[in-house]
Amino acid sequence: MPGLGARLGRGGATTFQQDLANSDCIVIMGANMAENHPVSFRFVMKAKERGATVIHIDPRFTRTSALADLHVPLRAGSDLVFLGALVNHVVNSARWHTDPFFKEYVVHYTNAATIIDPAFRDTEELAGLFSGYNAGRGAYSTETWQYAGSGTDPGAAQQPEQDVQSREGGAATGRPEEARTDPTLQDPHCVFQIVRRHFARYTPEMVERACGVPRDRFLRVAEALVNNSGRDRTAVFAYAVAWTQHTTGTQIIGCCAILQLLLGNIGRPGGGILALRGHATIQGSTDIPTLYNLLPGYIPMPTATPQHRSLDAFLGAERLETGIWHELPKYLISLLKAYYGDSARPENGFAYDLLPKIADDYSFQRMLLLMKDGAMKGLFCMGQNPAVGGQNAVLGRQALANLDWLVVRDVHEIETAAFWHDAPEVRGGAVRPAAIKTEVFFLPAALTAEKDGSYTNTQRLVQWHDKAVGPPGAARSEADFVCRLGQRLKELYRGDDSPRGRQIAALTWDYPTGGPRGEIDLDAVVREINGYTVADGRPVPDADALRDDGSTACGCWIYSGIAPQEGTNLARNRRGDEGAALGWGFAWPANRRILYNRASADPAGRPWSERKAWIWWDAAEGRWAGHDVPDFPATKPPGYRPPPDARGLAAHPGDAPFVRMADGKGALFSGPSLKDGPLPTHYEPWETPVGNVLYPEQARSPVAPTFERPDNPYHAVGDPRFPYVITTYRLTEHHTAGGMSRWVPWLAELQPEGFVEISPELAREHGVDNGDRVVLSTLRGEIETRALVTARLRPLTIDGRTVHQIGLPWHFGFGGLARGAIANDLSPLVEDPNSRIHQAKAFTCNLRKKG
Amino acid sequence: MRHSGATRSGSNLVLTGPTGARPGAVGFLTDTTLCIGCKACEVACKAWNGLPADDFGLTGFSYDNTKDLGAATWRHVAFIERFDGGDGRRPTDLQPFQSDWLMLSDVCKHCVEAGCLQACPTGAIVRTEFDTVVIQQDVCNGCGYCLPACPFGVPALSATDHKAHKCTLCYDRLKDGLEPACAKSCPTDSIQFGLVGELLARARGRVETLQGRGVAGAYIYGDRTVGGGGGIEGLNAFFILTAPPEVYNLPARPELPQRKTMPSYLTTIGTAVALGVAAFFSLRERGGA
């Protein structure tokens, strides 16, 4: 989540779904909310009933569009032009310059006034590149992307050759008072002026050329946003993976953050950015991550580099002087105590050397290549179906076929478990099962109702669920499997003095088990996540109680407070209400529902308006009060000014709402924290039928990680063999790669077969009738499926020519009841440089009628 | 939501207001303007009632692969795409709430005067204490008389047990004070369960609001005026629609087939008498000759 993290401080939705009902304008973009988040959409409908305007900006007319007031179709992959033009419109609009609210919010709560190093050069000056680009490495040096006078950034600049982490915490490592500012926003080197110049050519005309959106329709959206923002009104954006899954995904999301900061919508009821997560507990899987480059609580994973060679070196490099990240030692050392127990001692750097270090790119896409090339020998696959769901699934299945062993745990024999006997290439005779050496272990898993556990949903809300009935037969929960696997490994490595043996021996793995099946007690896991005092094992009340001397242990500092007393688990709470519903579940951090909610009050601590009051300074009590848990030190007065020697949060003034940022301000200019620049810039999707109208010399992202090789070829920009834009997506009726839905008769019958959606115009060009079989092709693969001809898809006029868009649901595979060709046999492996997420929402293909 | 334990107050019809719904009758308000076409109602219905998947296949009719109500499908979400006048243009400014891609969760209407019930020769179809219409499976002999008697084509014979089936308005759940499964699962409250009188008042308010916000075409389908006339006296499961009924594959002017039986009887009797008289006279003439 670096898109939000780099600009606001935390990689999570700034608001909660129920708060949508308080909004005056809801913009849904990069998401098909009604179809993929139908329960959340309830609150969009509530807002609508109260009179809110709902706008859906999307290439297709979906079930979300059907319930919107305005549908704005645009070309898939052109989102940043649209958002950039909104930024340009806002900063030049009469309302923004005449209503003092906007400048007051922006000057106090964002880094708009901060002066940037005059050596910084924008993409406007360097034809689509920022200063510091090294063409040989395909990467940036970020020395000039700094606040003036703050020096270089030790976290990023010293390791240009390495896979530097994109991280939260923002622009500067220097102290806030060292940064020069111009509150009049006139200095040519201040962030506001840089932003203004950067987006000056993102005009309605450019939107028309690049997005295919007529300028009057663009202006309708812009006006709706501006008119529904301000002291008394708020607008919210909801997005999902259709923003994330681009080579510029992080910057698209970041551009939305810039826009919402400029409109004064962050941290306020009915405002903010709602990151709609792809499926259940995806938020949880980045908080306590399944990602290779993060430790729990968004602590960067150490790299195998000199500046991460020891605990002290790591903390020296990653700790920020100001803001919450100043407390990094407490969080990391408590985590090491939770991992390694008595083996983590002050004299051995709390066993920091036992932590694995990153020496390469281990993202999912890269893993597939490592498997295919024989470097990775084994794979555990749980809750994932890469034979269908991974990009370039042809390559993905070849990778699976080159493993020594593969363990698949699922409730059905999904394609990833069955690829060796049932895949199209096997049934077609091209691959013989006997030639596949992979030994596949298929183990039965338990469904939600068959196990205890929790979900962390879109709004950072942790909700507990209890087992209703035990899983059938030998099926077991993931937690039980992982617990037993750990026990066996510890047994296996007993007495092994190799580094790996020591790593495993040192792990604390004393989870109590019980019940008729000897299953792990998950309350013990919750207790470990919450944190405890090492001496007596008593839970800590919250993250503030964590220490950097080894006296506390904590599995995930942002979840600390979830189980503050023995026998409590706030995720079990079920006291709902129509407001912030603080009695329902537990939202990290510290049960806050709207993040950065200090910004819901003006700099003096008063609500911006009666209608939009959320938290405020109660002078009589000397503390922040209101409807939510303040996301701010509870007793820090609005007028607080930090003394020169202050550190951590004490170094932030009383009007700095973004507590995780070094300077406490929302970052319009994100400094060196992102790899592709401090400001969002439009680059075309890696595969595109048209050039970049904004930066003709720089069609595609200069730093996107690519994997060009014979088994993952790319289409050149404007390749006439592949003239159509294709976008992949999900349907309400199915769940991701289908493992939970295509085998279920009640769901399978609702969408029983794969299909491709094309416009009547494109169908006519190819003589295709509704229901005909068609063939889609890319250089990666070819699939045959049925055409659903519908006016919900439409061609657009892009820079004077007609561009057709094709829509392809990606749920289907060769297993289960609802079957269909694998959409991802077409898609390429190419990534966003910051999040390492693939680009599935826009690439190119060809189509022909099945002859 | 627990309903208020509605029971029927006496057996005499109390025909008041725009429907003939009896006091205490429960039913559905299905408000299409709130429907997002998620089909949770279809799945919840099948899951609760233990109905099998059936009629498996891609239809090509928008996202409607269910096609219609049937013996094993008691909720059916219809999808109607209304974009193209043939000129390739698509609207982008939309009326508030649902528009252009219409979705409607169809269901048994639980008619105040139910054609199926009147046609059932075995007494299998009964009116319950909740004023809902239910087919008793242990009594039904599968004669199929109820099929043509329903103006909406709701009951269907199962190929498995050869009996007639349709929505029971979750009779078993009502007995336990629970709302029907479809209403319970609806994320946007497009399907609302309750006392018909209360639902109707709510629907009238909603239609007024919709019209006030520019949805000029919003109306109630299922009172005596529209959808519930022709002797039906109103639908206990009624709808808010924004396009003519035919667009949703609902009959514009449904009526009880039984209303046609009396004229038919009279015609038959009249014809018989006429023929008898004619025969008598012609025979007498022949005899006279």
Q: pLDDT tens across B90-102, in order?
A: 777 888 888 899 9
- Comparison of pLDDT for A280 and B186, the residue scoring more: B186
Tokens 């992102």, located at residue: A674
DSSP-assigned letter for residue A700: B
Q: Does B189 touch chain A (CB under 8 A)?
A: yes
In terms of Cβ atoms closer than 10 Å to its own Cβ (0-12, 13-18, 19+), residue B68 is: middle
Closest residue of B to A40, CA-based? B187
Q: Does B63 touch chain A (CB under 8 A)?
A: yes
Do residues A826 and A835 make contact, with C-beta atoms less than 8 angstroms apart?
Answer: no
- ipTM, 2 dp: 0.92
Q: Pick from B33, B36, B65, B190 the residue to mutate for testing the A interface (most A CBs within 10 Å).
A: B36
Instruction: Quote the pLDDT of residue B21.
Output: 87
Chain length of chain B? 289
Question: Cα–Cα distance between A469 and A480 in angstroms, integer?
Answer: 15
Say which of B46, B58, B93 has its CB closest to residue A755: B58
Instruction: Quote the pLDDT of residue A361.
Output: 87
Instruction: Quote the pLDDT of residue A153.
Output: 39
Closest residue of A to B64, CA-based? A750
Q: pLDDT tens across A716-752, in order?
A: 999 999 999 999 999 999 999 999 999 999 999 999 9
Question: Cα–Cα distance between A629 and A626 in angstroms, integer?
Answer: 8
Say which of B34, B56, B94 has its CB closest to residue A70: B94
For chain A, the domains span 2-283+666-673, 724-849
Which residues 798-817 on chain A approach chain B with CB closer than 8 angstroms?
A: 817
Q: Does A238 touch chain B (CB under 8 A)?
A: no
Q: Does B40 touch chain A (CB under 8 A)?
A: yes
Question: Cα–Cα distance between A129 and A49 in angstroms, integer?
Answer: 46
Architecture of the domain whose range is B26-255: 2-Layer Sandwich (3.30)
Taking every pair of Cα atoms in chain B, the longest distance, rounded to a whole number of angstroms, is 85
As a whole number, the mean pLDDT across chain B is 90
Instruction: Quote the pLDDT of residue B87.
Output: 59
Question: Cα–Cα distance between A493 and A516 in angstroms, integer?
Answer: 28
Per-residue pLDDT band for B37 (boundaries 50, 70, 90) equals very high
Please, which residues have CB within 8 angstroms of residue A407's CB and are 6 or more apart in sequence? A378, A379, A380, A381, A441, A443
Q: pLDDT tens across A423-432, in order?
A: 999 999 999 9
Provide, as residue numbers in chain B, all residues whose Cβ is less than 8 Å from the Cβ of A753.
57-58
Question: Cα–Cα distance between A205 and A211 in angstroms, integer?
Answer: 10
Question: Cα–Cα distance between B38 and A229 in angstroms, integer?
Answer: 32
Q: pLDDT tens across B167-181, in order?
A: 999 999 999 999 999
Residue type, A418: A
Q: In what order do the strands lie in the sheet with B191-195?
A: B191-195, B26-31, B237-241, B219-221
Average pLDDT over residues B245-272: 91
Provide, as residue numbers in chain B, all residues whose Cβ is less than 8 Å from the Cβ of A755.
58
Chain length of chain A? 851
Q: What's the angle, vertex CA A555, arms to CA A552 and CA A556, rounded to 5?
A: 110
Q: pLDDT tens across A513-540, in order?
A: 998 889 999 999 999 999 999 999 999 9
Secondary structure class of B79 (helix, strand, coil): strand
Instruction: Quote the pLDDT of residue A516.
Output: 86
A787: nearest Cα among A819, A814, A822, A754? A754
Question: Cα–Cα distance between A590 and A755 in angstroms, integer?
Answer: 45
Q: Does A747 touch chain B (CB under 8 A)?
A: yes
* Global confidence as pTM: 0.94
Instruction: Quote the pLDDT of residue A388.
Output: 96
Question: Cα–Cα distance between A554 and A528 in angstroms, integer?
Answer: 6
Do residues A443 and A484 make contact, with C-beta atoms less than 8 angstroms apart?
Answer: no
Instruction: Quote the pLDDT of residue B283.
Output: 87
Q: Does A35 touch chain B (CB under 8 A)?
A: yes
Q: Does B103 touch chain A (CB under 8 A)?
A: yes
Secondary structure class of A185 (helix, strand, coil): coil
Provide, as residue numbers in chain B, all residues whose Cβ is less than 8 Å from the Cβ of A217.
92
Instruction: Quote the pLDDT of residue A159.
Output: 33
Provide, as residue numbers in chain A, all residues whose Cβ is less than 8 Å from the Cβ of B68.
none
Q: Is A748 left (phi over 0), alpha (psi -120 to 50) or beta?
A: alpha
Q: Is B36 within 8 Å of A71 when comparing Cβ atoms?
A: no
Per-residue pLDDT band for B88 (boundaries 50, 70, 90) equals low
Instruction: Quote the pLDDT of residue A453.
Output: 95
A204-211 and A215-227 helices, crossing angle to 10°: 120
Q: In this predicted structure, which of A108-122, A176-190, A822-836 has the lowest mean pLDDT?
A: A176-190
Average pLDDT over residues A398-415: 97
Provide, as residue numbers in chain A, all residues whose Cβ is less than 8 Å from the Cβ of B57.
752-753
Over pLDDT 70: what percentage of chain A?
A: 96
Please say if the pLDDT value at position B273 is more than 50.
Answer: yes
Q: pLDDT tens across A286-330, in order?
A: 899 988 999 999 999 999 999 999 999 999 999 999 889 999 999
Provide, as residue numbers in chain B, all residues whose Cβ is less than 8 Å from the Cβ of A747.
43
Average pLDDT over residues A253-260: 98
Q: Pick from B46, B58, B82 the residue to mutate for testing the A interface (most A CBs within 10 Å).
A: B58
Say which of A45, A65, A761 has its CB closest to residue B188: A45
Assigned CATH class of A724-849: mainly beta
Whether residue A539 is preceded by a cis peptide bond, meaning omega within 30 degrees of 0, is no
Q: Does B87 touch chain A (CB under 8 A)?
A: no
Q: Is A48 within 8 Å of B97 when comparing Cβ atoms?
A: yes
Q: Is B94 within 8 Å of A34 when comparing Cβ atoms?
A: no
Q: pLDDT tens across A59-95, in order?
A: 999 999 999 999 999 999 999 999 999 999 999 999 9
Q: Does B187 touch chain A (CB under 8 A)?
A: yes
Task: Output b/e per residue, B224-234; b: 16+ Cβ within 10 A.
Answer: bebbbebbbbb
Please, which residues have CB within 8 angstroms of residue B134's CB and are 6 or more apart in sequence? B125, B126, B127, B128, B168, B169, B171
Average pLDDT over residues A466-476: 94
Per-residue pLDDT band for A176 (boundaries 50, 70, 90) equals low
A252: nearest Cα among A676, A540, A559? A676
Provide, as residue numbers in chain A, all residues whose Cβ is less than 8 Å from the Cβ of B36.
34-35, 38, 41, 63-64, 66-67
Q: In this predicted structure, which of A151-160, A245-254, A279-288, A606-615 has the lowest mean pLDDT?
A: A151-160
Residue ranges of alpha helices (H) inside A233-385 are 241-244, 249-262, 284-287, 311-318, 328-340, 364-372
Instruction: Quote the pLDDT of residue A540.
Output: 98
Residue type, A75: R
Per-residue pLDDT band for B3 (boundaries 50, 70, 90) equals very low
Cα A92 from chain centroid?
30
DSSP-assigned letter for residue A438: P
Question: Cα–Cα distance between A11 and A729 in angstroms, integer?
Answer: 23
Q: Does B58 touch chain A (CB under 8 A)?
A: yes
Which tokens is A796 given? Answer: 């657009």
Closest residue of B to A52, CA-based? B96
Q: In what order do the strands lie in the sheet with A461-465?
A: A453-456, A461-465, A586-587
Q: Is B36 within 8 Å of A790 when comparing Cβ atoms?
A: no
Question: Cα–Cα distance between A589 and B78 in angstroms, integer?
Answer: 43
Number of neighbouring beta carbons within 10 Å of residue A278: 16
Q: Does A711 touch chain B (CB under 8 A)?
A: no
Q: Does A791 touch chain B (CB under 8 A)?
A: yes
Closest residue of A to B98, CA-based? A67
The domain made up of A2-283+666-673 has a fold known as: Dimethylsulfoxide Reductase; domain 2 (3.40.228)
DSSP assignment of A622-654, as one string?
A: TEEEESS--SS-TT--TT----TT--BGGGS-T
B166: nearest Cα among B126, B198, B206? B126
The β-bridge partners of A607 are: A601
**Pairing assessment for the beta strands A294-295 and A439-444 based on DSSP bridges:** unpaired
Indicate if the alpha-carbon torsion angle B185, B186, B189, B192 is positive or negative: negative
Over pLDDT 90: what percentage of chain A?
A: 92
Please say if the pLDDT value at position A598 is more than 80.
Answer: yes
Give the gap in angstroms from C-alpha B113 to the nearest C-alpha of chain A.
Answer: 33
Closest residue of B to A57, CA-based? B92
Closest residue of B to A33, CA-based? B36
Question: Cα–Cα distance between A588 and A597 in angstroms, integer?
Answer: 14
As a whole number, the mean pLDDT across chain A is 94
Name the helix (H) or strand (E) containing A409.
strand A405-410
Instruction: Quote the pLDDT of residue B288.
Output: 58
**Pairing assessment for the beta strands A133-134 and A70-72 based on DSSP bridges:** unpaired
Closest residue of B to A755, CA-based? B58
Q: Is A749 within 8 Å of B54 when comparing Cβ atoms?
A: yes
Q: Is B53 within 8 Å of A45 when comparing Cβ atoms?
A: no
Instruction: Quote the pLDDT of residue A118.
Output: 95
Name the helix (H) or strand (E) containing B265.
helix B261-288
Which residues 59-88 on chain A approach chain B with CB closer than 8 angstroms?
A: 61, 63-73
Say which of A61, A67, A770 has its CB closest to residue B36: A67
A128: nearest Cα among A785, A697, A635? A697
Please say if the pLDDT value at position A137 is more than 50.
Answer: yes
Please, which residues have CB within 8 angstroms of residue A740's CB and are 6 or more apart in sequence? A411
Question: Cα–Cα distance between A643 and A647 in angstroms, integer?
Answer: 9
Task: Output b/e per residue, B89-120; b: 16+ Cβ within 10 A.
Answer: ebebebbbbbbbbbbbbbbbbbbbbbbbbbbb
Q: How many CA atoms within 13 Å lie on the side-chain side of A275?
A: 35
Which tokens is A97 given? Answer: 């310059």
Q: Is B53 within 8 Å of A745 when comparing Cβ atoms?
A: yes
